Amino acid sequence: MIRSVRGRVAERGKGFVVVDVGGVGFQVLTPDSSTSALPGEDGEVSLHTRLHVREDALTLFGFATAEEAGLFDLLVTVSGVGPKVALGILAACRPKRFLELVIYEDTDGLSRLPGVGKKLSQRLVVELRDKLAPERQRLGPADLAGAPVSRDPREEAVEALAMLGYARVEAAGAVDRAVAELGENADTAGLLKKALKLL
């Protein structure tokens, strides 16, 4: 199992990056959220990785944080969730927000994630709620007190862009780039305005 790669960014594109490790280029599929956080070409990068083996292909998936990699591991244990669907979920939803959706059994919110319909959203709740229950302590008092609605400006901006007709993966990438420019404390309105300019 290849658990991490570190090297020079030789190439990057939508949903992937090629990492040069000692003269060998590894193509790593990444959620857009991770790709947007990576340095440009020739920059140094370190990714948490998971190798998916099939009869006809070896596919390497990479994540900027251990938290994203851990959620990927959990998602692919769910019946009906393959690596590509798991990657799409991570591209559109941050781990903490996904945790909220499952703990609150918010199947409507889950069903809006790419590749997740009504039946799969119900399966995600049934199969993951007990596994994620110990993680409930990671949610702050404000998270636990309210209804299962997004209070994260990033998520709210992505939702707004999705309502305007943009693909969630595309919207999430634009919002992450907006955060990179405006800072972590940017509000929803500011992120939305900036993301629209970037799309």
Same domain, 59 and 80: no
Per-residue confidence (pLDDT) for residue 158, from 0 to 100: 81
Per-residue confidence (pLDDT) for residue 139, from 0 to 100: 55
Domain housing 40:
4-63
Determine the average pLDDT of the residues in 1-27: 91
Polymer length of the chain: 199
Same domain, 83 and 27: no
pTM recorded for the entire structure: 0.68
Question: What are 83-99's pLDDT values in tens digits?
Answer: 999 998 998 888 888 98
Same domain, 122 and 160: no
In this structure, the strands spanning 58-63 and 24-29 are parallel
Apex 102 CA angle, 100 and 107, nearest 5: 110
Question: What are 24-39's pLDDT values in tens digits?
Answer: 999 999 987 666 667 7
Q: What is the tally of structural domains in the chain?
A: 3
The residue assigned the tokens 């959203």 is: 121
Same domain, 131 and 174: no
User: Can you tell me the distance from the alpha carbon of 21 to that of 154, in angstroms, rounded to the nearest whole number?
Assistant: 33
* Model confidence band, residue 166 (pLDDT cutoffs 50, 70, 90): confident
CATH number at residue 178: 1.10.8
For the record, the structure tokens of 111 come out as 């069903």
- Please check the confidence at residue 80 and state whether its pLDDT lies above 70: yes
Question: What are 173-185's pLDDT values in tens digits?
Answer: 888 899 898 988 8
Same domain, 55 and 72: no
Mapped onto helix, strand or coil, the DSSP state of residue 130 is: helix
CB neighbours (10 Å) of residue 188?
A: 19
Same domain, 73 and 129: yes
CATH number at residue 27: 2.40.50.140
CATH number at residue 137: 1.10.150.20
Q: Which run of H or E residues covers position 24? A: strand 24-29
Query: Exposed/middle/buried for 110, CB within 10 Å: 0-12, 13-18, 19+?
Result: buried
Domain end (from 38, 63, 88):
63
Task: Establish how many alpha carbons lie within 13 A of residue 7's alpha carbon, considering only the half-sphere containing its beta carbon.
Answer: 19
- Please check the confidence at residue 136 and state whether its pLDDT lies above 70: no
